[in-house]
Structure 1
Amino acid sequence: MQTQESKFGFTQFAETWNGRLAMLGFVIGLATELLTGQGILSQLGLM
């Protein structure tokens, strides 16, 4: 019998994808800041 690992909660699968998406978001934010010359707070109008 084969058991299926849950894909929700604090599982290895979820944590791996969370880390990958966090790295992707950081790189996109950094690239946007370099291209526009403004930080994220300035782009959102908070500074």
Structure 2
Amino acid sequence: MDQRSSTDVPPVAPAYNGVDRNAWIFGWNPQQELWNGRLAMIGFAAYLLWDLAGYSVLRDVLNLIG
């Protein structure tokens, strides 16, 4: 059985074609999935802070309904 040491770096996945995974590339590609996730996390954190500050869109909508 071939065992790798923990310092061996795996080859770049074929989907990335050797392109930097953090590069901002226009179009549908794996890099955009990474950026989409990062921006979604920032948006979620921003909304959480906004809600904790007392401005809640969800609470306002629920008060209008109920």
The size of the alignment, in residue pairs, is: 39
SS state of the match for residue 7, structure 1?
coil
| Kept after mapping to 2: 8 A contact 1:8/1:14 | yes
What 5-or-longer segments of structure 2 have no aligned partner? 1-16, 20-24
Does structure 1 residue 28 correspond to structure 2 residue 25? no
For the pair shown, the structure with the greater C-alpha radius of gyration is 2
Provide the C-alpha distance between the structure 1 equivalents of 2:39 and 2:52, rounded to a whole number of angstroms.
20
What fraction of aligned residue pairs are identical, expressed as a percent? 33
- Deviation digits for residues 7-47 of structure 1, max 9, x if unmatched? 311x11100000000000000000000011x42231xxx33
Answer 1 or 2: which has greater helix percent. Answer: 1
For residues 38 and 30 of structure 2, what CA distance do their matches in structure 1 show? 12
